Chain A
Amino acid sequence: MKENHFMAKKLRTSGLLIIAGLLVEALSLAWNHPLSFVAFLGLGGLLLAAGILVYLWALVTTASPSETSSAKSREANASTE
């Protein structure tokens, strides 16, 4: 349950960062100017990359349900022994 809550929080953070990056990208595409290119790369690219990294980080740091249940059963076995 705690793992799911942690994952949900990370997914929301990742999603919000990516949406912010995509909005910057959309706005930059509406303006044909060297500064829009810099905003796209510097701000939009940074937000997109941060969002994707948060998502990947959540994937590798959150245990899957099968791992969680096997860890619980190992703990239970250890306590009975």
Chain B
Amino acid sequence: MPTAVVLVLLALTVVFIAVIIARPEVTIARGGKILAFLALFVLPVFAGFTGLENHINRSQQTTFCLSCHVMDDYGKSLLVDDASYIPAAHYQNNRVPRAEACYTCHTDYTLYSGAVKAKLRGLHHLYAQYIGKPSHPVHLYAPYNNRECLHCHLGARSFEQGAVHTADPQTMADIKSNKLSCVSSGCHDMVHNVSQLDHQKLWKPVQ
């Protein structure tokens, strides 16, 4: 739900509640009781859920991920002027939506994987950012899952008929079952490589 709609809903709820606060005696009548139930239960619960949905959608935005200082270099790595950098090539050529570039390739990250442990990791990131000391460079908690590549590339001609992918029937099976990582050494292994950024020319997006 768009933020403007959520804000209108919040304003409407506040107006109803203000009526209850100013004239609580209206709740003696049946209509007033219904109004109180709507204003003090139904609408706040609904407003809470729409707000949560809105926040989760916003947290998938690239600007949200890059709002933490520790992610600055990862944001820069999307602009490297070198097609062998996988994230840069995807970002610059619109192979992933630029506004949600991080989330598109990291759908299992913290909040989105569903597990309680993952939510706690998200809180730990906040702790590390504002109170502790974030590790540099940051590392994924689990090896990169091929699923992140295959949700777009699976079925694509370049993937299914790629010379290296089909050289041995076992290779394709291992890629699809995540036994052989797409980002293995010698394959698509130029990922963010933030330690090499100082030597790289950066691309300036057309405004």
A interface residues with partner B (beta carbon < 8 Å): 4, 7-8, 11-12, 14-16, 18-19, 21-23, 25-26, 28-29, 32-38, 40-41, 44-45, 48, 51-52, 55-56, 65
Other A-B pairs beyond A15-B17, A18-B44, A23-B14, 12, CB < 8 Å: A8-B27, A22-B14, A29-B51, A32-B61, A32-B67, A33-B67, A34-B64, A34-B129, A35-B126, A35-B130, A48-B44, A51-B44
**Given the contacts A12-B24, A34-B59, A52-B41, A40 and B52 also touching, CB distance less than 8 Å:** yes
In whole angstroms, what is the CA distance A19 to B123 when docked?
26
Contact with A along B22-45 (1 / 0, CB 8 A): 001101100000001001110011
In whole angstroms, what is the CA distance A11 to B39 when docked?
11
B interface size (C-beta, 8 A) = 39
In whole angstroms, what is the CA distance A22 to B6 when docked?
11
CB pair A37–B55 under 8 Å, yes or no, is yes
CB pair B47–A22 under 8 Å, yes or no, is yes
Listed by A's residue number, 25 A-B pairs whose Cβ atoms lie within 8 Å are A4-B25, A4-B28, A15-B18, A15-B39, A15-B40, A16-B21, A18-B13, A22-B13, A28-B51, A32-B61, A32-B63, A33-B64, A33-B67, A34-B67, A34-B125, A35-B126, A37-B59, A38-B126, A40-B52, A44-B48, A48-B47, A55-B36, A55-B40, A55-B41, A56-B41
How many A-B pairs with Cβ below 8 Å?
Answer: 97
In whole angstroms, what is the CA distance A45 to B49 when docked?
10
CB pair B126–A22 under 8 Å, yes or no, is no
Contacts of B179 in A (CB 8 A): none
In whole angstroms, what is the CA distance A7 to B25 when docked?
9
Contacts of B6 in A (CB 8 A): 29
Of A7, A15, A21, A37, most buried by chain B (CB within 10 Å of CB) is A15
CB pair A18–B40 under 8 Å, yes or no, is yes
In whole angstroms, what is the CA distance A48 to B3 when docked?
19
**Given the contacts A18-B40, A51-B44, A26 and B64 also touching, CB distance less than 8 Å:** no
Contacts of A22 in B (CB 8 A): 10, 13-14, 44, 47
Contacts of B130 in A (CB 8 A): 35
B107 proximal to A (CB < 8 A): no
**Interface members, chain B 104-130 (any A CB < 8 Å):** 122-123, 125-126, 129-130
CB pair B20–A15 under 8 Å, yes or no, is yes
